Amino acid sequence: MRLLVTGITGFVGSHMADHALAEGATVFGSRRQESNTANIDHLQSRVTLVKADLSDHDATRHLVEAVNPSHVIHLAGQSFAGASWDKPAEVLSNNILSQVNLLEAIRQRGTAPRILVAGSGEEYGMISEDELPITETNALRPLSPYAVSKVAQDLMGYQYFKSFGLSIIRTRAFNHEGPRRGERFVPSNFAKQVAQIEAGLRPPVVHVGDLTPRRDYSDVRDIVRGYWLLLARGEPGEVYNLSSGRSWAIRELLDILLAECEVKGIEVRTDPSRLRPSEVAVAVGDPSKIEKVTGWRAEIPMERTLTDLLDYWRARVRRGSA
């Protein structure tokens, strides 16, 4: 297998590379000139990196020609919903244009790789209690510019499957966490603050936004395992939820991290700047479709996920890189 992982230097991309290498794949990754490679420094001798900005049509075409992949997992793009409120045009342009350039490069080359398009549980948006758990047939009602961009990517994948016969498997992964997660994401930001408090680098106060929403969280290592299985066994044109099937209140995740903290009596303080214009109150995905096709289910306990995430930030704090 010649696997191209776009966005290989990112959180999910780096874990995807780890898993694919363990499964025996030959792994290629696209990266932009300015990409930070810290997440894959441990893999530099085992993967082939190709510099390519997917927003550039010619660069994307050269990437596909150079790699000639048998399989593609498309993970590149802006993945932080919160930032999309500040730069909606940038997020929409980046995520949508990058994917259309990639699919056009593959289509024009005339090859037939299996392609996995990474969507998001954010596509479902506002859900009422009687619509839970969320299945793949739920209406898409995105509530952020990021979620709108993922709906566009999702439906673009379907359109290229129907119009051009590309072997595209679509996914909607719900929230996932673990080591290497960027600090802008809520649980990772909490973990960084806790690690800094332990090291005496900040007062014993954790700043938070809204702690009431409930989210369906999985471990990133479970998610990439699901992607791998779908790449092999998923039905082209179909879409699959990747979710744990249960929800966690943001407050519960914070409490797990605080219980792990070596410093006790930490104050939790709401920061208005961390609140969003609109927020999904609860999200619980139904993973039965992917389970039926591949046998996949989320296996790693959230307590382990958060402990590993906290240890990641502790190590970064010790190195002076956080």
Q: What is the mean pLDDT of the chain?
A: 95
DSSP string over 184-213: TSHHHHHHHHHHHHHTTSS-SEEEES----
pLDDT value at position 80?
A: 67
Sheet containing 239-242: order of strands: 48-51, 26-31, 2-6, 71-74, 114-120, 167-173, 239-242
CA distances from 49 to 3, 31, 180, 186, 207 (A): 12, 7, 19, 30, 38
Q: Is the pLDDT of residue 79 over 80?
A: no
Q: What is the pLDDT of residues 118-175, one digit of tens each?
A: 999 999 998 888 899 999 999 999 989 999 999 999 999 999 999 999 999 999 999 9
Q: Is the pLDDT of residue 86 over 90?
A: no
Q: What is the pLDDT of residues 234-287, one digit of tens each?
A: 999 999 999 999 999 999 999 999 999 999 999 999 999 888 776 677 889 999
For the chain, percent of residues with pLDDT exceeding 90 = 87
| pTM exceeds 0.85, yes or no | yes
**CATH architecture, domain defined by 179-215+246-283+300-319:** Alpha-Beta Complex (3.90)
pLDDT value at position 63?
A: 97
Average pLDDT for 65-81: 91
Q: What is the pLDDT of residues 107-121, one digit of tens each?
A: 999 889 999 999 999
The Cα–Cα gap between 52 and 187 comes to 31
The Cα–Cα gap between 322 and 317 comes to 5
* Closest-CA residue to 81 (of 149, 6, 157): 149
pLDDT value at position 277?
A: 75
For the chain, percent of residues with pLDDT exceeding 70 = 98
Matching CATH topology for 2-176+218-242 and 179-215+246-283+300-319? no
Residues 6+ apart with CB under 8 A from 147: 81, 84, 120, 122, 123, 125
- The crossing angle, in degrees rounded to 10, of helices 88-109 and 145-164 is 20
Return phi, psi of residue 116, to 5°. -110, 125
Q: Is the pLDDT of residue 301 over 80?
A: yes
The amino acid at residue 205 is V
Q: Under a CB-based contact definition with an 8 Å cutoff, are residues 86 and 139 in contact? A: no
* Closest-CA residue to 29 (of 70, 61, 88, 75): 75
The Cα–Cα gap between 314 and 26 comes to 32
User: Per-domain residue ranges for the chain?
Assistant: 2-176+218-242, 179-215+246-283+300-319
CATH of region 2-176+218-242, choose from 3.40.50.720, 3.40.50.300, 3.40.190.10, 3.30.160.270: 3.40.50.720
Average pLDDT for 48-66: 96
pLDDT value at position 278?
A: 65
pLDDT value at position 35?
A: 86
pLDDT value at position 134?
A: 97
pLDDT band at residue 68 using 50, 70 and 90 as cut-offs: very high
pLDDT band at residue 78 using 50, 70 and 90 as cut-offs: confident
